[in-house]
Amino acid sequence: MYTLLSGLYKYVFQKDEYCILILGLDNAGKTTFLEQTKTKFSKNYKGMNLTKITTTVGLNIGTIDVGKARLMFWDLGGQEELQSLWDKYYAESHGVIYVIDSTDEERLSESKEAFEKMISSDVLEGVPLLVLANKQDVEVYHLVGGGFEDRASDCMSVPDIKTAFSDCAPKIGKRDCLVQPCTALTGQGVNEGIEWMVKCVIRNIHRPPRQKDIT
């Protein structure tokens, strides 16, 4: 009888909570992605002005509910001196979202180095990984003959980024992994990324969720 009542209580009054890390270099768009996520998945949430978000120094936290799952996000600062703190959160995490600024080719190798160090951690073995090629909306205009402007993309594509990170594949292993285009500023790709992550953390039996009372 106790087991039955306990199970009923958990079904009605508790949610499965999953902790998701949002990592990447500074200025990649991590906090903007988090704000868009909270706006899209939390009713009546009034987010901050996305064009005025500044560099994270430390930690931003956000929570959303998707069905019976509750996602708690830890958005960590991406400056080089703060990356040494990332591994302090690995053991409690159920998923990782790694954000890449696809307009900043000069820092791509730096981003790859941080990424490779992160996925090399044994503590994150088997944890689902969502890689976001952010800022896919950025375009530049070039003057052409006759004074007309020719518009062209000024960002690396998903295939470009996959190629640059290809030698990281062995360290990614058999975990769930998706590389997806995203524009955090407009919200493009946010829903798809979050819904994919929810499915992955729920089915990952190696990292059971935490039980939290519904509030």
Residue type, 82: L
Taking a C-beta distance cutoff of 8 angstroms, is the pair 82, 28 a contact? no
Spatial distance between the Cα atoms of 83 and 174, rounded to a whole number of angstroms: 25
Spatial distance between the Cα atoms of 213 and 154, rounded to a whole number of angstroms: 46
187 has binding-site annotation:
no
Count CB neighbours of 100 within 10 A.
Answer: 27
Residues in CB range of 95: below 8 A, 6 or more apart: 18, 19, 20, 21, 127, 128, 129, 130, 197, 200, 201
| Phi, psi (rounded to 5 degrees) for 188 | -65, 125
56 has binding-site annotation:
yes
Please say whether the dihedral angle defined by the alpha carbons of residues 52, 74, 108 and 200, taken in this order, is positive or negative: negative
135 has binding-site annotation:
yes
191 has binding-site annotation:
no
25 has binding-site annotation:
yes
Q: Which two tokens stand for residue 190?
A: 């946010």
Taking a C-beta distance cutoff of 8 angstroms, is the pair 166, 214 a contact? no
Spatial distance between the Cα atoms of 2 and 4, rounded to a whole number of angstroms: 5
7 has binding-site annotation:
no
Spatial distance between the Cα atoms of 83 and 76, rounded to a whole number of angstroms: 8
174 has binding-site annotation:
no
65 has binding-site annotation:
no
50 has binding-site annotation:
no
49 has binding-site annotation:
no
Residues marked as binding?
24-31, 56, 78, 134-137
- The annotation places the binding site for GTP at 24-31, 78, 134-137
Output the known binding site for Mg(2+): 31, 56
